[in-house]
Structure 1
Amino acid sequence: MSKYLLNKFLFTIDRDPELVERYREDPRGTVTWWEAERANAILNLPEGEASSWLSFTDEEREALSTHDYVKLFELGAHNFLTLTLFIALFERDYSEPLGFQLEYARKLQHWSLPYPDITT
């Protein structure tokens, strides 16, 4: 398991409106593409610089592919990265103010301190 890779996915998808839409419409395809094309790219370095060893576990891939933010939280994905991306994905589907944020809180309310470890 790589919390770093989960967080890198959440961070990079959230920073690009086109990728947010792609992930909303085709989550499994976006995860597969991102893992193959972007997972090993080194952040903030010139194009072509890459590592070669990072990949998602089956459990991480499935949680990302199904937009399962509760499972991502349980796997140690950073809660702020998860929340900001999923707000971009789903806030528009709620008519009430803070609708998605309230849903996010409700689905994670079974957690109490200590939360899952989010260190990478």
Structure 2
Amino acid sequence: MSRYLLNKFLFTIDRDPALVERYREEPRETVAWWEATEANRVLNCIDDERSTWLAFDAAEREALSTHDYPTLFDMGAHPFLTLTLFIAMFERDHEPMGFQTEYARRLADRTLPYPDIAT
């Protein structure tokens, strides 16, 4: 498992409105595309600068593909990254502050200490 890669996915998707919509509408396809084309790209570098070893494990891939933010939280994905991305995707489907309330409700059974979010 790679918290770095989970957070990198959340960060890069959230920064592009077209990718936010793509991830909302086609999560499995978006995760597969991103893993194949973007996962090994080095952030803030030229396109030719890439690593070769980064990949999601099956559990990460499934949680991302099903928008399962409680599981992502349990895996150590940064809560600010999950919250901001999922607000962008799902706030429109709720009353004002409704998604934030749903997010908090679904994570309410977690107790301290929370998963380590250091990468």
Q: TM-score range with shorter-chain normalisation?
A: over 0.9
Q: Report how far residue 115 of structure 1 moved.
A: 0.6
Deviating 4+ runs (over 3 angstroms) = none
Equivalent AA in structure 2 for residue 85 of structure 1: L
Equivalent AA in structure 1 for residue 51 of structure 2: S
Q: Report how far residue 55 of structure 1 moved.
A: 0.2
Matched with 2:83 is 83
Q: Report how far residue 112 of structure 1 moved.
A: 1.4
Q: Report how far residue 113 of structure 1 moved.
A: 1.1
Equivalent AA in structure 1 for residue 106 of structure 2: K
Matched with 2:60 is 60
Kindly tell me the number of residue pairs found equivalent between the two proteins. 119
Alignment of 1:34-53 (within 5 A): 34-53=34-53
Which runs of no fewer than 5 residues in structure 1 stay unpaired? none
Distance 2:110 2:116 in 1: 12
Equivalent AA in structure 1 for residue 46 of structure 2: P
TM-score (structure 2 length as normaliser): 0.99
Matched with 2:22 is 22
Q: Report how far residue 81 of structure 1 moved.
A: 0.2
Matched with 1:110 is 109
Q: Report how far residue 29 of structure 1 moved.
A: 0.1
| CA deviation vs aligned residue, 1:40-71 (integer Å, no higher than 9, x gap) | 00000011110000000100000000000000
Q: Report how far residue 28 of structure 1 moved.
A: 0.1
TM-score (structure 1 length as normaliser): 0.98
Aligned CA-pair RMSD: 0.5
Q: Report how far residue 93 of structure 1 moved.
A: 0.2
Which runs of no fewer than 5 residues in structure 2 stay unpaired? none
Q: Which secondary structure does the structure 1 equivalent of 2:76 belong to?
A: coil
Distance 2:101 2:113 in 1: 21
